[in-house]
C-alpha cells in the first residue's frame, strides 16, 4: 500500500526534507592506526556529534602490526571493526550532513 503523508499504518517512514543536504568526505593514504584508537573514533562517529551528523562510514586502514589491516563499517549507533587483507592504500569514506571535515582529517589524517 502507499505510504503517503497521511499514512496511518503505524510505521515511522522517516520523512526527509529537501533542506537536508548530505555530503561525503573521503581520505586515502590513511596512516597506521591502533585498533583502540580506531574504536574511539568510530564510537564518536556512531554515537556523538563531534564530526557532524554521520549516516554511514566505511574504510580500511593499516594496523599496527606489519601487514595487518583494519576494516570498518558504521551506521548510526552501530559499527564493527574486523581484520582484513592488506591493501595498497588506506581509504575512509564518511557520508552525512554538516560534516566537520577538519575534525575528520585530524582523526584519520595523522
Per-residue pLDDT of the chain (110 residues; tens, 9 = 90+): 444 444 444 444 454 444 568 999 999 988 899 999 999 999 999 999 999 999 999 999 999 988 899 999 999 999 999 999 888 889 999 999 999 999 999 999 86
Please answer whether residues 90 and 29 qualify as being in contact, where contact means their C-beta atoms are separated by less than 8 angstroms: yes
User: Which domains are delineated in the chain?
Assistant: 23-109 (3.30.1220.10)
Report the distance separating Cα 71 and Cα 61, nearest Å.
7
Q: How far apart are CA 78 and CA 63, in angstroms?
A: 21
Helix, strand, coil shares, percent, the chain, to 5 = 20, 35, 45
* Calpha distance 77→70 (Å, rounded): 19
Amino acid at each position: 500500500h502507499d505510504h503517503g503523508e497521511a499514512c496511518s499504518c503505524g510505521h515511522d517512514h522517516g520523512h526527509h526534507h529537501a533542506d537536508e543536504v548530505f555530503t561525503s568526505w573521503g581520505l586515502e593514504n590513511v596512516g597506521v592506526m591502533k585498533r583502540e584508537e580506531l574504536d574511539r573514533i568510530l564510537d564518536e562517529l556512531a554515537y556523538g556529534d563531534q564530526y557532524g551528523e554521520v549516516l554511514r562510514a566505511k574504510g580500511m586502514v593499516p594496523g599496527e602490526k606489519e601487514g595487518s589491516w583494519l576494516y570498518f563499517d558504521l551506521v548510526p549507533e552501530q559499527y564493527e571493526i574486523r581484520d582484513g587483507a592488506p591493501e595498497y592504500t588506506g581509504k575512509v569514506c564518511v557520508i552525512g550532513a554538516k560534516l566537520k571535515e577538519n575534525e575528520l582529517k585530524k582523526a584519520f589524517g595523522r
